[in-house]
Structure 1
Amino acid sequence: MPDTREVMWFRMADGPSLEQARLERQPDGATLSGTVLAAERGRPLRVDYAVTCDHRWRTVQVAVDQSFEGVLRSLRLGHDGAGAWTLDGRPAPSLDGCIDVDLGVSPITNALPVNRLALAVGETGSVRAAWVRFPALEVVPAEQSYERLGARLYRYRSRTSGFAAEIAVDADGLPTDYADIWRRVADRPGGGSGRG
């Protein structure tokens, strides 16, 4: 029986948005899925996504469906677990070496490196992520780092853009507060135990 929980975030910066997300754990991995409803430059944006990971929290598959300005678009990513990617079924060598996916419209994918790296307090880990930008649906590599500041607190840095933020997480690695950008506003805990 999968261990499932649901959360909801409100985005306070760069135009309001609301996201309902789901974490489903199974013995062989986890699936992160959800729906984002955002005001993007004053226009409605809807994003539905699903990210499938293996038992080590390495991204395996990503499905994104977006509705923006009356246009429906989809994106599919596949990952072999060792750093090679496909984009819509074709090899994507520009993403070679990426382990995680980073959905720019959602805080949920921060849970991937938080869980995968399993850092001790005071440690820093480097990440190369396939960064999906919205609403362009462009995928580019991004150099990132996570520093564990406390039991449930991390400092995220994008070495690509220079952006940095502190992220508070729960026992499953899901963000509760992401700087002044996202805030958790609802939670339905699942069964089973989370990370320590």
Structure 2
Amino acid sequence: MDFRDPPKAAAWQHIKARAGFEVVYFETTDEGWRIHGCTTAVEDGRSWIVDYEIELDAAWITRSAHISGRSATGHRTRSIITNGDGHWQVDGVVSPELDGCRDIDLESSAMTNAFPVRRLRLVEGVRAEAPAVYVRAADLTVERLDQTYELVRDKSGRQRYEYSAPAFDFGCHLAYDSAGLLHDYPGIAIRVT
């Protein structure tokens, strides 16, 4: 599956699960892509802000993420770096529990669901494991999230993937545009630009 380059900017409105907004800017680099984003939201009566800068190589494999979060409980930062072969360091500490993860998935972000889709380039009917380094929105806790994606037929012309995250007992159909960016994440977010 080939994708066009992402636009210079994109935005999502968070719906149902939380109220808020995410704005993202894409920049090409010599190695691939740099993505700057910010999400603000209120969820379960708690507000938070997450700013991030993520570096990807040309194949959309995460290379690093620098994340800053603010909430009523204070300000936090995380620096997450990988060697590209599925080995990670969080704030300079080797994190073997994350071995095998190829992507970063920010709980606060609809955009980061683009990484496995663009990296895997699945063909219809193929299901792939896509474990990710998962960063919680409110406190920037880092954990492993096992998840799967499967490209399914869609008559509307959009790319749709059957998504599942067993740890959350969650599954849905995710709709993507031709740049491999999430268009509709049922109950979570919808793309507005």
Deviation at residue 14 of structure 1 after TM alignment: 2.1
Q: 2:189 maps to what in 1?
A: 182
TM-score using structure 2 length: 0.89
What residue number does 2:71 align with?
Answer: 68
State the partner residue of 2:108.
105
| Unaligned segments of structure 2, at least 5 residues | none
Question: Are the equivalent residues in 2 in contact too, given 1:32–1:108 (CA < 8 A)?
Answer: no
When structure 1 is superposed on structure 2, of 56-65 and 3-12 the one drifting more is 3-12
Separation (CA, whole Å) in 2 of partners of 1:36 and 1:148: 27
- Tell me the equivalent position of 2:169: 162
Partner of 1:6: 9
Helix, strand or coil: the match of 1:98? coil
* CA deviation vs aligned residue, 1:97-130 (integer Å, no higher than 9, x gap): 1111110111111111101000012211111111
Find the aligned partners of 1:3 and 1:119 in 2 and give their Cα distance.
Answer: 18
Residue 78 of structure 1 aligns to a residue whose secondary structure is strand
Instruction: Quote the sequence identity (%).
Output: 32
After TM superposition, give the deviation of residue 27 of structure 1 in Å.
5.0
Which structure's residues are more often strand, by fraction? 1
* 5+ long unaligned stretches in structure 1: 187-196
Where does structure 1 differ by over 3 angstroms across 4 or more consecutive aligned residues?
A: none
- SS state at 1:172 partner: coil
The answer to whether residue 46 in structure 2 is matched with residue 18 in structure 1 is no
- Higher alpha-carbon deviation: 12-21 or 41-50: 41-50
Residue 41 to residue 179, structure 1, CA distance change in 2 (3 Å):
closer
RMSD between superposed Cα atoms in Å: 1.7
Q: Specify the code of the residue in structure 2 equivalent to 1:34.
A: G
SS for the counterpart of 1:160 is helix
Residue equivalent to 1:116? 119
- After TM superposition, the score normalised by the length of structure 1 is 0.88
